[in-house]
Structure 1
Amino acid sequence: MRSSIRPGYNPLIRKLESIFTLTDDERQALEHLPMQTTAIKEGQDIVREGDRLSRSCLILSGFACTYKTTAQGKRQIVSFVIAGDIPDLQSLHLKVLDNSFSTISPCSVGFVTHDALRDLCTCYPRIASAFWRETLIDAAIFREWVMNVGRRDAYHRMAHILCELMVRMKAAGLAEGHVCDLPITQVEFADALGLTTVHVNRVFQQLRGDGLIVTQGTRLTIPDWDKLREVGEFDPMYLHLEHAEAAA
């Protein structure tokens, strides 16, 4: 995944407009939101559990994940983070971060001070509403992940998460049809789905053998979208997208 940003593409505006209708003035305000941009290598923590933050991070390009670890050091990934996401937006109101964020691929990250975000929300209350909606959708995704890991077997579990990622990538303008770049390793899928890497490898082989996915390097193609949705019991309602075609 390239770390550069396409000309004319604003990940934050694209993300918010997938779940909320913005005015021209609000788009302009978001365009001029002050931020410090940093390139971060893959496998690096952006922020850690227990941090007290004075700024939030916006993923401008690349992939990251939200995770927690047990006392024995075992990692549980609780969400995947793509361009346009602000994974620590809750730090605006919560003093101590209760999870960590790490890059999966090289990322371009924009750091925005909480003061700048509060000023933005004060001047543009509808943007505050959009951010609130964003955090509510994050909570809906967490609930769906609990359901997925707790009540589906490995085959259906993987189908569901691949459907979710494809829909979110399409909404973010990062997929064409049902094809996208997905640089998530089998280790990371294992940590997200509560499986071993051996089991993840076996499930991928089964999905490929059944003609539901095609993988080439980091490139994912879903040739039979309706069938994969059926296998994963995937209903995009919990993503609360403004445009239904993004889920098709």
Structure 2
Amino acid sequence: MLTRSVLLNRAAPLSDAERGRLETAIADVRTFRAGETAVRQDTPIQVSLLLVEGFMTRHVDARDGKRHLVAVHVPGDFVDLHAFTLKQLDHDVGALTDVSVAVFTHESLEKILVDDAALAKRLWFITMLDAAQHRQWIYRLSSLTALQRVAHFLCETHARLLAVGQVRAHGFTLPMTQSDIGEVCSLTNVHVSRVLRDLREMGLCQLRSSQVQILDIQGLVTAGLFEPGYLYLNPHVASQAVGHNGDFHDR
């Protein structure tokens, strides 16, 4: 179930014993179709979901009916681990693509907390990593220009997918429309289109049919003021993420 690539975006990968314990704790495997809501805001929750395949989002629906993306999740992410203590969410979790998720009951997570202090600390680390990414999200929106925001988001996604072995042939799949990217970067669809054109003309990257092709990773990192420290990647992946480790794309 949990392939060796899942959860490798941590400073140190799970041991075989820890991975085995997590796999044993899985209560079910569920699938959601693109566009489905997996977890609804303000609904009591007794399980947490680990994303195995596909992309998911967290989003808040404003009073005016508009959706606002507040996170994008890739394979290996616990999309709602904080619900273990909160027991409900203040936002929705939805499937951006068709997805497969591993379901952990809160009872099984409680048992890990009691019986395995090291693994419990790992799970705590995941929630702290989630918070670090949210802080960077705020920084991106409050401090960067339009081009820097998009470049930073693409670098971040590239780094996270590198960590789980989903970057190949100098690129990766990003199943997001320009409107979705606009929500992430607080830009209009027209503005996103202009920025993507600029990045292409600068020879940094191009986005075609949900495929991001990185042409110059170091240039893209510079354009986005991207520093991967907040992702707490292992050193090898961190070097690849900024183009300092030879052929940074294929692992």
Q: State TM-score, norm by structure 1.
A: 0.90
CA contact (8 A) 1:156 1:233 kept: yes
Aligned mate of 1:232, from 224, 241, 248: 224
Pairwise CA distance, 1:16? 5.3
C-alpha separation in 2, matches of 1:103 and 1:185 = 14
CA contact (8 A) 1:18 1:172 kept: no
Q: Which stretches in structure 2 are left out of the alignment for 5+ residues?
A: 243-251
* 1:87 is aligned to 2:95: no
Residues 236, 177 of structure 1: alpha-carbon distance in 2 compared, 3 angstrom cutoff: farther
C-alpha separation in 2, matches of 1:176 and 1:35 = 32
* 1:52 is aligned to 2:44: yes
Pairwise CA distance, 1:160? 0.3
Pairwise CA distance, 1:106? 0.8
Listed one character per residue, the Cα deviations across residues 205-246 of structure 1 (whole Å, up to 9, x for unaligned) are 111111111233222111100010001000001111123434
C-alpha separation in 2, matches of 1:115 and 1:16 = 25
Moved over 4 A (4+): none
Between the aligned residues of both structures, percent identity stands at 32
* 1:9 is aligned to 2:9: no
Secondary structure in 2 aligned to 1:195? coil
1:22 — aligned with what? 14
C-alpha separation in 2, matches of 1:167 and 1:78 = 18
Secondary structure in 2 aligned to 1:76? strand
Tell me which amino acid in the other structure corresponds to 1:194: S
Aligned runs of 1:9-158 on 2, under 5 Å?
9-10=3-4, 14-15=6-7, 18-158=10-150
Residues 25, 16 of structure 1: alpha-carbon distance in 2 compared, 3 angstrom cutoff: same
CA contact (8 A) 2:9 2:232 kept: no
C-alpha separation in 2, matches of 1:236 and 1:50 = 33
Tell me which amino acid in the other structure corresponds to 1:228: L
Indicate the RMSD between aligned Cα atoms, in angstroms.
1.8
Tell me which amino acid in the other structure corresponds to 2:62: T
C-alpha separation in 2, matches of 1:229 and 1:176 = 18
Pairwise CA distance, 1:131? 0.9
CA contact (8 A) 1:163 1:228 kept: yes
Bigger Cα displacement from structure 2, 202-211 vs 228-237: 202-211
Pairwise CA distance, 1:84? 1.0
Secondary structure in 2 aligned to 1:120? helix
Aligned mate of 1:205, from 190, 193, 197: 197
C-alpha separation in 2, matches of 1:167 and 1:88 = 21
Pairwise CA distance, 1:102? 0.9
Tell me which amino acid in the other structure corresponds to 1:9: T
Pairwise CA distance, 1:18? 2.7
* 1:195 is aligned to 2:184: no
Bigger Cα displacement from structure 2, 223-232 vs 205-214: 205-214
Q: State TM-score, norm by structure 2.
A: 0.89
C-alpha separation in 2, matches of 1:121 and 1:66 = 26
Tell me which amino acid in the other structure corresponds to 2:185: L
Q: Which stretches in structure 1 are left out of the alignment for 5+ residues?
A: none
